[in-house]
Amino acid sequence: MPFKHSFYNLFMKKMVIRILVLFTVLLQFKMLTAQQRAIDKKVDSVLRLMTLEEKIGQLNQYNDDWRATGPVTVDNDKANQIRKGQVGSLLNVLGTERIKSWQMIAIQSRLKIPLLFGQDVIHGYKTTFPIPIAEAASWDLDAMELSARIAATEASAAGINWTFAPMVDIARDPRWGRVMEGAGEDTYLGSKIAFARVKGFQGNKLGDTNTVMACAKHFAAYGAAIGGRDYNSVDMSDRLLWEVYLPPFKAAVDAGVATFMNAFNDLNGVPATGNKYLQRDILKGKWGFKGFVVSDWGSVGEMINHGTAKNGYEAALSAITAGSDMDMESRCYKKNLVQLVKDKKVPVTLIDDAVKRILKKKFELGLFDDPFKFCNTGREQAALNNPAHAKAAREIAAKSIVLLKNSNNLLPLAKNLKTIAFIGPLVKPLKQNKGFWDIDIPGIDSNFIVSQWKGLQNKIGANTTLLYAKGCDIEGNNREGFAEAVEIAKQADVVILSIGERRDMSGEAKSRSNINIPGVQEDLLKELLATGKPVVVLINAGRPLVFNYTADNASAILYTWWLGSEAGNAIADVLFGDYNPSAKLPMSFPLSVGQIPIYYSHFNTGRPATSDDKHHYNSSYNDLSIFPKYEFGYGLSYTSFHYSNLQLSKKKMKIQDQVEVSVTISNTGKYDGEEIVQLYIRDKVGSIARPVKELKDFSKIKLNAGESKTIKFVINKEKLSFYNQQLQWVAEPGDFELTIGASSKDIRLKEEFELVK
């Protein structure tokens, strides 16, 4: 019976492999818990030696003088305080030499406890990757993990051991300048990206020389600041908090994030920094988070402005009680915690808990064994000049560019065009391409950044002439440069116009009420179009902008965000088809500011608006379309994709069961390309209202021209669950609509199934 034998052999082989895998996992787990126990012991032994002042010292974080990322407190006594063990961490120290010199002072303290060095390494260190919202448009989790990995490799070689990233705030208001720093409006996509970024920053394990601690911020709900005004209040139901705003933070915890940062905002009247519900009950309680929480810059002291603390004493009491372990820059802990303990307002066990959390990370990073382990000038040089990093930055930059429009298949451009006019205020600048929250390393000149001009020059052949005119500034009314721009446009086969925001128009403290393309840039486009030449517009920005004239009139549009140090090369790759654009918007683009907030996963309401034909007695504005200009998930390709053959493994699913979904995608165009296939679910009838659709899975697939692939998704209870009125996470039996789309609006296939008990 040879068949029987081979079946038996196969079975045995599989069993052996499974046992081996299980054994290895168990062994790793045992080793890890043994390591953790050993670290806990060390932490306890240090804690036993510490005075109360030294313990409180660990809870203070001060800014260095290189760059202020908040209102500075002048303090000329830092070195002295560090020497006395009164500081646990510094932020904004740049370069190994300077970091070394501070660390040297720290280890002169009585217990020789090393400092942590924190930095906003948001999208790269020297090699600058696309701003996070841009990377999110790639929907490419591996690429985002890689970009965080490279950022960590460079930063950790330059002495940094802690990044204040990723920002995982869901953001639905493009007026908020910080949308540039996150992953957009969607909870499912945002959670996947949060997980990938934490993994990227932290690598295999803290303590590897090329790793930094990640920091999930801003806990919580900062992205919902009212009116998109930075530092503003948030007023939100518990259901929305749990269902939409918290999951990316939970994903960061699941990925093993080492630290959290709380937030400037109050949540329903309680400042996040003094919010026990968020920090102790949810984060450290329900989620079992073992790392530590740092306040945002000065946010402990800002509780006085919020009006929830009378003075620094009350602010410190509120923050430490609520679970903020480290005080960034406000000095409220330094000035008040000793007294609070003496007054028996704060039990020393609370202080001990915070200190232990911080010391634990210092041990895990290996700083007690070698306080200088991240300061190696040789490694720094090698990491900062690694050509593989630039290559990765170029690839992810190309993956982040969204093709919004391509009339008459103008793009990709032929490589043998005779004359190209490259016009606009963003063609030649270098640093603009880096966007906000970049890192300007002193002594490194900006020439490693590939300008858009240089990128095009690198790409075109000897027979193509590239003409340049600035045309106008980003802001202001000056039209003097229009004539020159029109003149070169007339000589060209095609015009490429690069316009947008200034890079520092988005970011922290960069909220704007007007998010149109600034100045006379769209007027310049009008004049260029009047020449009759095809005009490709590149829009550079850190947020969704409003640009209806451009959208309706330009021949082609690429939304290039801020793409980082390889911007020029990546843009050229896309313009000439060496990379076929695949990105899709992670945020809805409004038609006008009046539509904000606008997001795809809204409720249906009792009077739903479903078309623009009728505005009376339904939920819409009388003077505005109900649709955004570009919806969540939108983005074109140089090729076309056909969706077919949607199949569900069953039409009735039991709660513990699952439905397998398969769909065939065919590349029906002329170019190889990638498509981001999106799966949305709608719970048709719930005990509370449910969104009209919610992203519950996606797949980015590569298809050669003419090729088809069948992809599979799995629907399980988790994907059908929501928070009911009692805030229980439940999947309710009933009918569900499943749609597969190329965007949240461009739905190609639809099916229904029922969840049964």
Q: Residue with structure tokens 């929305």?
A: 240
Which among 98, 91, 63, 67 has a CA at the least distance from the CA of 377?
Answer: 98
DSSP conformational letter for 110:
T
Residue closer to ligand NOJ by CB (options 258, 558) is 258
DSSP conformational letter for 504:
G
- Closest approach, Cβ 69 to ligand NOJ, in A, equals 3
Query: What HEC string does 381-445 produce?
Result: HHHHCCHHHHHHHHHHHHHHCEEEEEHHHCCCCCCCCCEEEEECCCCCCCHHHHCCCCCCCCCCC
Q: What are the respective helix, strand and coil percentages of the chain, to the nearest 5?
A: 35, 20, 45
Residue closer to ligand NOJ by CB (options 302, 674) is 302
Query: How far, CA to CA in Å, does 707 sit from each of 355, 665, 666, 668, 710?
Result: 58, 8, 6, 8, 10
Residue closer to ligand NOJ by CB (options 164, 680) is 164
Residue closer to ligand NOJ by CB (options 70, 673) is 70
Residue closer to ligand NOJ by CB (options 440, 612) is 440
Query: What HEC string does 578-593 produce?
Result: CCCCCCCCCCCECCCH
- Closest approach, Cβ 66 to ligand NOJ, in A, equals 12
Work out the burial of residue 296: count CB atoms within 10 Å of its CB; fewer than 13 is exposed, 13-18 middle, 19 or more buried: buried
Q: How far is CA 258 from the centre of its chain?
A: 17
- Closest approach, Cβ 120 to ligand NOJ, in A, equals 5
Per DSSP, which regions of 476-526 are E strands?
494-500
> Three-state DSSP class for 326?
strand
> Three-state DSSP class for 748?
strand
Instruction: Give the residue nearest to ligand NOJ (CB).
Output: 69
- Closest approach, Cβ 217 to ligand NOJ, in A, equals 5
Q: How far is CA 377 from the centre of its chain?
A: 30
- Closest approach, Cβ 621 to ligand NOJ, in A, equals 33
Residue closer to ligand NOJ by CB (options 293, 528) is 293
> How many Å apart are CA 74 and CA 52, to the nearest integer?
25
How many other CB atoms sit within 10 Å of the CB of residue 291? 25
- Closest approach, Cβ 115 to ligand NOJ, in A, equals 16
Residue closer to ligand NOJ by CB (options 55, 331) is 331
Q: Are 399 and 583 in contact (CB under 8 A)?
A: yes
- Closest approach, Cβ 65 to ligand NOJ, in A, equals 14
Which among 740, 735, 695 has a CA at the least distance from the CA of 719?
Answer: 695
Q: What backbone phi and psi angles, to 5 degrees, belong to 503?
A: -60, -30
Residue closer to ligand NOJ by CB (options 120, 186) is 120
Catalytic residue among 120, 266, 296, 325: 296
- Closest approach, Cβ 225 to ligand NOJ, in A, equals 11
Instruction: Please report the DSSP string for 151-164 in residue order.
Output: HHHHHHHBT--EE-
Which among 241, 294, 236, 240 has a CA at the least distance from the CA of 263?
Answer: 294
- Closest approach, Cβ 68 to ligand NOJ, in A, equals 9
How many other CB atoms sit within 10 Å of the CB of residue 28? 10
Residue closer to ligand NOJ by CB (options 68, 410) is 68
- Omega before 130 within 30 of 0, i.e. cis: no
- Closest approach, Cβ 596 to ligand NOJ, in A, equals 22
> How many Å apart are CA 588 and CA 596, to the nearest integer?
10
Q: Is 288 left (phi over 0), alpha (psi -120 to 50) or beta?
A: left
Which residues here bind ligand NOJ, judged by CB under 6 A?
69-70, 91, 120, 164, 217, 296-297, 508
> How many Å apart are CA 182 and CA 131, to the nearest integer?
9
Residue closer to ligand NOJ by CB (options 121, 474) is 121
Q: Residue with structure tokens 């830092």?
A: 78
Query: How far, CA to CA in Å, does 449 sit from each of 1, 402, 435, 438, 495?
Result: 68, 21, 12, 12, 23
- Closest approach, Cβ 263 to ligand NOJ, in A, equals 8
Instruction: Please report the DSSP string for 587-627 in residue order.
Output: S-B-SSGGG-S--TT-B--SS----SS--TTSSS-TTS-SS
Q: Are 419 and 534 in contact (CB under 8 A)?
A: no
Q: How far is CA 513 from the centre of its chain?
A: 23
DSSP conformational letter for 90:
E
Amino acid code (one letter) for 209 = T
- Closest approach, Cβ 204 to ligand NOJ, in A, equals 25
> Three-state DSSP class for 341?
helix
> Is 504 considered catalytic here?
no
Reading the block at residue 174, the tokens are: 């493009």
> How many Å apart are CA 256 and CA 39, to the nearest integer?
17
Residue closer to ligand NOJ by CB (options 42, 229) is 229
Residue closer to ligand NOJ by CB (options 88, 534) is 88
* Active-site residue set: 296
